[in-house]
Amino acid sequence: MTPDTENRNLDELDRAILNEIQSHFPLLPRPYAEVAARVGSTEAEVLARVQALYDSGVIRRIGANFTSRKLGYTSTLCAAHVPPEDLERFVQVVNRYPGVTHNYLRRHHYNVWFTLIAPSASRLEEILTEISRESGVEILSFPAVEVFKIKVDFPV
Amino acid sequence: MELSDLEQRVILALQQDLEVVPEPFEAVARRAGATVAEVLRVIQGLKERGIIRRFGATLRHQLSGFSANALVVWQVEAAELERVGRRLAAFRQVSHCYARRPAPGWPYTLYSMVHGRNPEEITALVAEMANEVGLDAYELLFSDQELKKTTMRYFREDDPE
């Protein structure tokens, strides 16, 4: 699978930088100087490129992604069947929770799919009950029993 | 999972994104009340223990060429989950693959997130995947709209905003 690169104004240097800071972010006091050394550029140029990629929205964020389970948190994937006329209100109720990190409208009888992370199993159940009560929509919850893959790096 | 006091402070300090500056760990160190060297050592240790799953830039997929995605749900016998899960996870275009508890009226037990340039590409790929693992009970749920996508901030209030 070759990503469609035509409509993105990324040159070779942008791509090299993105691949480094996605997958091999240097844990050094001056990480961008190290990236510059790897891609054959200067720290100032790399910083300017990264800032531009941030500003144009290619980079969403730079930082740590935690394994929620290892911090004592619990998570689940939820689905709901929401009639079109109730959709806006339902999404408003669901999205207010900081633990709802992903929410997608999907082409299916169950048309709203969101992930929920909470500090405990009981809090998770409580949030689902609150959402159902407030929205009048029944929610299905499918907790993970095994993880085969979580990957967020995409070669560019 | 036992966390030292320093580790807890660094984890809290990492709930904010890194700034795009020459020395981005300075601000983290300040928030954690630690030195940059300590922060870097703690991050390395948390990575090794899998508490930090990854550290670096997160890109918007749509802007990096993968504009379409489908959640593909598969009906898999318990005894087959391990084999099929591993096989599906091995596809490059699959970003997430989980076994999940089924629910009444919902027999699907394996979930894979499949990315591609357009729905046609994804449909063709999923047919290929189904053939390879020998399953025909599955559904594709194409995403029509992203309603929310954020990063979890831990150890904060989780009440509605």
CATH number (domain holding residue B88)? 3.30.70.3460
Contact A62 B18 (CB under 8 A): yes
pLDDT at A6: 39
* Structural domain span for residue B44: 5-48
Chain mean pLDDT for chain B: 92
| pLDDT averaged over every residue in chain A | 92
Q: Are residues B23 and B75 in the same domain?
A: no
The residue assigned the tokens 């992370």 is: A117
Residue B40 shares a structural domain with residue B65: no
Whole-number Å distance between alpha carbons of B43 and B38: 9
Query: Percent of chain B having pLDDT more than 70?
Result: 93
Instruction: Supply the DSSP string of B113-150, one letter for each residue.
Output: EEEESSHHHHHHHHHHHHHHHT---EEEEEEEEEEEE-
Per the CB < 8 A criterion, the answer to whether B18 and B24 are in contact is yes
Say which of A43, A103, A147 has its CB closest to residue B98: A147
- Contacts B154 to A, Cβ<8 Å: 66, 68, 71, 73
What is the predicted pLDDT for the residue at A14?
95
B37 with B71, same domain? no
Residue at B53 is within a domain: no
Residue B80: CA count within 13 A, CB half-sphere:
12
User: What pTM, to 2 d.p., does this model score?
Assistant: 0.85
Does A5 have pLDDT greater than 60? Answer: no
Residue pLDDT, tens place only, B123-144: 999 999 999 999 999 999 999 8
Same domain, B137 and B85: yes
Per the model's pLDDT, the better-predicted residue between B62 and A21 turns out to be: A21
Structure tokens that stand for A143 in this block: 């907790």
Residue in this structure with the two tokens 């339902």, named with its chain if needed: A90
Q: What is the pLDDT of residues B1-24, one digit of tens each?
A: 689 999 999 999 999 999 999 999
Residue B33: per-residue pLDDT: 97
Instruction: Specify whether B66 is located in the same domain as B24.
Output: no
- C-alpha distance across the termini of chain A, in Å: 11
Is there a contact between A10 and A148 (Cβ–Cβ < 8 Å)?
no
Mean pLDDT of B57-85: 87
- For B158, the closest of A67, A77, A97 (CB atoms) is A97
CA nearest A77 in B: which residue? B100
B118, B72: one domain: yes
Q: Does A8 touch chain B (CB under 8 A)?
A: yes
Which helix (H) or strand (E) is A130 found in, with range?
Answer: helix A121-135
B22 and B77, same domain (yes or no): no
Probe site for chain A from B17, B64, B97 (most A CB atoms < 10 A): B64
Here the ipTM equals: 0.87
The distance of A38 to chain B (nearest Cα, Å) reads: 16
Please answer yes or no on whether B100 and A144 come within 8 Å at the CB atom.
Answer: yes
Task: Tell if the CB–CB gap between B17 and A3 is shorter than 8 Å.
Answer: no
Interface A-B: count of C-beta contacts within 8 A: 245
Check residue A44 and give its pLDDT.
98
**Share above pLDDT 90 across residues of chain A, in percent, rounded to a whole number:** 87
Residues 56 to 75 of A: which have CB under 8 A from any B CB?
56-68, 70-73
Question: Taking CB atoms and an 8 Å limit, are A154 and B66 in contact across chains?
Answer: yes
Taking an 8 Å cut-off on Cβ atoms, the answer to whether B143 and A106 are in contact is yes
pLDDT score of B8? 94
Q: Is the pLDDT of residue A123 over 80?
A: yes
Q: What is the count of structural domains for chain B?
A: 2
> Is the four-CA dihedral A50, A52, A53, A55 of positive or negative sign?
positive
B144 with A105: Cβ contact below 8 A = yes
Q: Are residues B39 and B69 in the same domain?
A: no
With the CA atoms of A54, A60, A66 and A67 taken in that order, what torsion angle do they form, in degrees rounded to the nearest 10?
A: -150
What amino acid occupies position A13?
L
User: What is the percentage of chain A residues whose pLDDT exceeds 70?
Assistant: 92
Calpha distance A50→A29 (Å, rounded): 17
Interface contact A123-B158, CB threshold 8 A: yes
Cβ contacts of A104 on chain B, cutoff 8 Å: 71, 143-147
By CB atoms closer than 10 A (0-12, 13-18, 19+), residue A133 is exposed
Is the pLDDT score of A4 beyond 60?
no
Looking at the structure, do residues B38 and B75 belong to the same domain, yes or no?
no
Q: How far apart are alpha carbons A135 and A138 in whole angstroms?
A: 9
B34 or B69, higher pLDDT: B34
pLDDT for the residue B26: 98
Classify residue B4 as exposed, middle or buried by CB count within 10 Å of its CB (0-12, 13-18, 19+).
Answer: exposed
In a domain, B42, yes or no: yes
DSSP B104: T
Chain A residue closest in CA terms to B12? A64
Are residues B66 and B44 part of one domain?
A: no
Quick one: pLDDT band at residue A23, thresholds 50, 70, 90? confident
Mean pLDDT calculated for residue range A115-122: 95
- Residue numbers in B near A22 (CB within 8 A): 56-59
Residues of B in contact with A129 (CB under 8 A): none
